[in-house]
C-alpha cells in the first residue's frame, strides 16, 4: 500500500507544488492590492485572487487525496489561474507581475496534469 500512495503522489507532486506556490503568491498580491492607493480599481483583481487561492487549495487537496475528480478540478483551476493572471497583468506593480507569472505557470501545469491523468 505505501508504494501505491507514493506513486499517486509522485504523479501529482509537481502540480501540487505549483498550486501551493500560486496560493502563496496570490495571498501576497491580495494583501498588497488591498493596501494599494488605487484599491477601487483593483476590485476585479481582488475577487479573482480570492478565487484563485481557493481553487488552487481545492486542487492540491483533490490531488493529494487521489480523487477521481482531480483532473476536472485542475482544468477549472487552470481557467481561473489564467483569468487571475490576465487581471494581474493590467497592473504594473512587481507583486502583480510576479503573481501573474506564477498563475500562468500553475495554469500550464494544471492543464498538463489534467491531460495526462484523464479518468
Domain CATH code at residue 20: 1.20.1270.360
Note whether residue 27 is domain-resident: yes
Note whether residue 29 is domain-resident: yes
Note whether residue 2 is domain-resident: no
The residue assigned the cell 496560493 is 23
- The per-residue pLDDT string of the chain (119 residues; one tens digit each, 9 = 90 and over) reads 444 445 566 789 999 999 999 999 999 999 999 999 999 999 999 999 999 999 999 999 999 999 999 999 999 999 999 999 999 999 999 999 999 999 999 999 999 999 887 65
**Dist CA 12 CA 22 (whole Å):** 15
Range of the domain at 63: 9-116
Note whether residue 4 is domain-resident: no
0.75 cut: is pTM over it? yes
Note whether residue 1 is domain-resident: no
How many domains does the chain contain in total? 1
Note whether residue 111 is domain-resident: yes
Note whether residue 76 is domain-resident: yes
Amino acid at each position: 500500500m505505501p508504494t501505491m500512495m507514493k506513486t499517486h503522489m509522485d504523479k501529482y507532486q509537481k502540480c501540487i507544488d505549483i498550486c501551493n506556490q500560486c496560493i502563496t503568491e496570490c495571498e501576497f498580491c491580495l494583501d498588497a492590492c488591498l493596501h494599494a492607493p488605487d484599491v477601487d480599481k483593483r476590485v476585479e483583481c481582488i475577487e479573482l485572487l480570492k478565487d484563485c487561492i481557493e481553487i488552487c487549495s481545492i486542487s492540491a487537496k483533490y490531488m493529494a487525496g487521489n480523487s477521481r475528480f482531480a483532473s476536472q478540478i485542475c482544468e477549472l483551476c487552470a481557467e481561473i489561474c489564467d483569468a487571475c493572471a490576465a487581471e494581474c497583468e493590467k497592473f504594473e506593480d512587481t507583486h502583480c507581475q510576479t503573481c501573474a507569472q506564477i498563475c500562468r505557470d500553475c495554469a500550464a501545469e494544471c492543464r498538463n496534469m489534467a491531460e495526462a491523468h484523464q479518468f
